Chains A and B, each alone.
Chain A
């Protein structure tokens, strides 16, 4: 019976290294070398930063790019760890869920840029006198821009695991550790990777802000692309801005080719829809790693170790000991609710006291007024961007070959930190003597409008061809066609894009309402510039107030508009 030939994946390969081995080996070793260099730099004393200041020499850019990259990946690694712990706890424990998910919801809405100056002090004290402290602060800032959506994605996947897979895993007595790694994480993988990509894109925006950190009167500048750009803007060096943009484009392309495309291609097998369906994504980098015996040999012990950990026989997990029953009683629920309530009240009191030390109720009113201005700005611009990009997205999406070409460009533009282009706007506004309250506004959606475009393109590409054919057959054309056929079809996709864009725009307002080019400075009235100004002045109570007001508005905006719309779209327009 067992005399079968081995399956092809198991046959041994020739031991002579192939071309794939050489390439993979070179890349892996180079990666290690780069990380080691960057790490060494981090351990140096803080004074080094003053001795070797950031310079605008373009030849420094590769090194700066490397250091920025290491920071971003460190942040991504931290985000992943956070995601796995936080989302798992939230998904597995009902009581933890009751507080963790609302907290995550708020964290997602808090303007990250406002945070940086609050946290830097803490991190500098962790590693006094070393670059490491400032690095930690920068990494933390990037982390706060990456983690939340990844966590939500994993949490949602864990909660929507198909019941039959769960039952199969349980009836084959997987331990919960094994179930997590062999069933739950694989199921969550495609969503998680997609969100990692979004996070990395979002991260760029904050790198620019996080590498040049101001604490009251002192500014710490970490070498990197972000600080290079900040310096270029300060010195009004357009050529340097150009070099930075070029570098960034190269780095983003490398991320795409060497990380995300391979990941997406690899994760294709984790997609749950069991149809032989569409073309599988491909990646030369992944093919190289897969063909390389060296990589396989290097990862084999790891895989074996992982399998070894699965061997723990499953315990009777359903056993009902008295402690478990006690935990499940409604009285424990009530006690828990009481504890959470007391903590929340305490936190609120502390917050009010902290703000109340130096601010009066008028400040709160002012802040809300400014918040309202920003709210109008965001709504109007998202609406304008929608009017522009939805029709274009539909037209592109219905032409598959065009869509294939446009889609990567749109995604690249979404990843591109739009704050790089702000100086151009300042230049133009000053030159033509325009009103900054109005003309700075477009900057808010400059970087985020692409989310609308590429989601609509995706939606139109997925629009069923039989529906299109039947519309043609019925001679439905013109406005009727838009209104009754295609717009409802892409609506759920559009919403996904618009929600992302709107969230990003709030955050962008902190940089977009307060822009400088050298010593020229333009300010638009709004909660964004309020926070930015307070940060510059080191005015902690106002920073906290600004952040709180913006968070409240974002949450209200989400609850009152986006969520009901999303639910409506799910019910009415989802094409099954």
Chain B
């Protein structure tokens, strides 16, 4: 609503919100820490961050689906206790009821409000019309394409005339063209003031999407999730992706998000984050090799946004890959660029066998957990060790989930480098590679 100037009246006022979950050993896992934000009438605010930065958790807190461990969330001046009227959510997975038609799916939110039947029909049909679903009223969700399904998701949220619409990665389950089409349509309706909503809060991990849609972007850092920076976007709508100002902003956010050099450490106290508890990016060796080859194709130094575009990768896929290369000293990132190290260059030119040897050397040198597993196997006369042994060690430092993921990652790496073998049936590490 460009006509309505952004007013000062905060629709949503969040102060000092923390969220933690109990984990296996003792202390809690901190997911969100010291979150402060306000949302005013007429603005679209984006929460941008990698997966695991707690942005979806924050959205669920605001939606009243769960409650924060500490801090206050005021909606329209009233603390949020349970789902509030006037906050509607659009889900990444659409979350449509498969047994209801499009019309029924849209109407159901109004039914819950207890409106009279003719009012429900009138409003549902007009929302369907507005979102461009007319003709599909009696179709079931399974008959629709992903894009049309998400339109139903939007219509269902719009129809209750919410003050705040929340989008939880609403476009990320769609293909590139469909997502763009839906974004443009939404922005058009929003700019024309046709949507009966006052503000939008959206979670995304797509930097371009954030710059395209938002008036303000809050960049999250991970472990625990914190708001690292607030970036206002002053470009007028409709925004042009090729506009140099647009590109510049996207680049600067890339820089912002790659700048935090020291990998966020787990629980800064007691040596965590280093040693065997070093958090490993969840990336497979093939993705790493692919990324190295791509960067080698750019003479060993490339712009991350450019690579993201070429490989059609979102930051959730790209950043962990870059992190992994950096951890293994195969590449370095700085200022939104990625550059191969000499070892990285050697890797790019080597054949399969040499690559494996090189990879083995790097993980033994720079992944303490891999080196630790190898050492244990070497020391034992049987050259065998159960997975549980290492899982227990890891769980002293991290949650069960993280321990499991970390082990999975190290198993994938170790197998590729052939520094140990692993039997998933027996859950046993060993040195015997089948010959």
Residues of A within 8 A of B (CB): 1-2, 4, 7-9, 162, 164-165, 167-168, 170-175, 178, 182-183, 186-187, 189, 269-276, 304, 307, 310-314, 316-319
Closest residue to B67 on the A side, CB-wise? A318
Docked complex Cα distance between A272 and B141 (Å) = 10
Residues of A within 8 A of B143 (CB): 276
Interface of chain A: mostly helix, strand, loop or mixed: loop
Contact status B63-A171, CB under 8 Å: yes
Which of B132-140, B302-310, B311-319, B335-343 is found at the contact surface with chain A? B132-140
Contact status A183-B89, CB under 8 Å: no
- Asked if B22 is an interface residue, CB under 8 A from chain A, the answer is no
Contact status B129-A2, CB under 8 Å: yes
Given A2-B125, A319-B82, verify A164-B93 contact (CB < 8 Å).
Answer: yes
Contact status A171-B126, CB under 8 Å: no
Given A4-B125, A316-B81, A318-B82, verify A276-B142 contact (CB < 8 Å).
Answer: yes
Closest residue to A8 on the B side, CB-wise? B138
Given A319-B81, A319-B82, verify A4-B134 contact (CB < 8 Å).
Answer: yes
- Asked if B12 is an interface residue, CB under 8 A from chain A, the answer is no
Most-contacted residue by chain B among A171, A186, A304 (CB, 10 A): A171
Given A2-B122, A272-B98, A314-B83, verify A7-B93 contact (CB < 8 Å).
Answer: no
Contact status A171-B83, CB under 8 Å: yes
Residues of A within 8 A of B217 (CB): none
Docked complex Cα distance between A464 and B67 (Å) = 44
Which of B106-114, B247-255, B353-361 is found at the contact surface with chain A? B106-114
Closest residue to A568 on the B side, CB-wise? B425
The count of A-to-B residue pairs whose CB atoms sit within 8 angstroms is 110
Docked complex Cα distance between A147 and B67 (Å) = 39
Q: Report the count of interface residues on B (CB-CB < 8 A).
A: 46
- Asked if B419 is an interface residue, CB under 8 A from chain A, the answer is no
Residues of B within 8 A of A313 (CB): 113-114
- Asked if B281 is an interface residue, CB under 8 A from chain A, the answer is no
Residues of B within 8 A of A (CB): 60, 63-65, 67, 81-83, 85, 87-89, 91-95, 97-101, 103, 108-109, 111-114, 117, 122, 125-126, 128-130, 134, 137-138, 140-143, 149, 156, 160
Given A171-B64, A316-B82, A318-B81, verify A186-B97 contact (CB < 8 Å).
Answer: yes
16 contacts between A and B (CB under 8 A): A2-B126, A4-B134, A7-B101, A164-B92, A164-B93, A164-B95, A167-B91, A170-B65, A171-B63, A172-B160, A269-B140, A270-B98, A276-B142, A310-B111, A313-B113, A314-B112
Most-contacted residue by chain B among A165, A168, A312 (CB, 10 A): A168
Contact status B141-A274, CB under 8 Å: yes
Residues of B within 8 A of A165 (CB): 95, 97
Docked complex Cα distance between A270 and B168 (Å) = 25
Q: A173-B113, A183-B97, A276-B142 are in contact. List 10 more A-B contacts (CB 8 A).
A: A7-B101, A8-B137, A165-B97, A167-B60, A170-B65, A171-B64, A182-B108, A272-B98, A274-B149, A319-B82
Given A171-B65, A178-B112, A318-B64, verify A7-B83 contact (CB < 8 Å).
Answer: no
Closest residue to B142 on the A side, CB-wise? A274
Q: Which of B82, B92, B94 is the one whose CB lies under 8 Å from A317?
A: B82
